[in-house]
Amino acid sequence: MGEVKVTVKLNNAMDFAMLRRGLIQPAEARSVTVEAVVDAGVVRSCLPVDVMQALGLRVVRSINAQMANGEVHSVEMTEGVDMEILGRLVTEAFLVLGGEVLIGQTALEATDLLVDCNRQRVIPNPDHPQLGDHPHPVRRIVRREHNPGLHASPFGCGRRPRSASDADSRNKDDVSQAVSVG
């Protein structure tokens, strides 16, 4: 089975934010279009040093990243990059690694795209095929009956039991559920 490749447009997110605010001219906003390898086995997207330099990106930090062979290496991470894949937009920090642009799971999930390995192509999720203008599945929270034994999580992203005994006695229907609308 061969590589899956897709054409992507990469924009320096800070340049394009300044362009939208009228602080720079269109010719000053840095952008490149490249043929990228899509690898659903890779978590974070990667780009080589020459693409980072062409986009005028800065390194914001270094992280420890585990390679496919299991080794852990310190890898630099860039500022935000606006990435357009098949008309869908995602902003990500890239790892500076390798000799070609590599699209990972986080970008695929954020754009709701899937890898069709049989046909060696990237396709929109069949459940949400027309998301070009709105790249993310719409989610809404459906509230069920209030349970005083539950309180908001400290991260503001759901509800959790106050104690382990509450977790054992709670009814699944009493908690909020995320429902995909599409």
The CA-atom distances, in angstroms, between 14 and each of 10, 58, 85 are 12, 11, 19
**pLDDT for res 153:** 32
Q: How many other C-beta atoms can be found within 10 angstroms of the C-beta atom of residue 90?
A: 21
Instruction: Tell whether 108 is covered by a domain.
Output: yes
Instruction: Tell whether 38 is covered by a domain.
Output: yes
State whether 17 and 96 are in the same domain: yes
Q: Which tokens sit at 61?
A: 């930090």
End-to-end CA distance of the chain, in Å?
Answer: 33
Query: CA-to-CA distance for 101 and 126, rounded, in angstroms?
Result: 26
Q: Which tokens sit at 140?
A: 């809404």
Q: Is the dihedral of CA 119, 125, 129, 134 positive or negative?
A: negative
Q: What is the pLDDT along the chain (182 residues), one digit of tens a residue?
A: 578 999 999 999 999 999 999 999 999 999 999 999 998 888 999 999 999 999 999 999 999 998 888 899 999 999 999 999 999 999 999 999 999 999 999 999 999 999 998 899 999 988 877 655 554 554 444 444 444 443 333 333 333 344 444 444 444 433 333 333 33
Domain with 154, as residue range(s), is 138-181
Instruction: Tell whether 129 is covered by a domain.
Output: no
State whether 19 and 57 are in the same domain: yes
Instruction: Tell whether 174 is covered by a domain.
Output: yes
Closest CA to 177 of 164, 158, 161, 163: 158
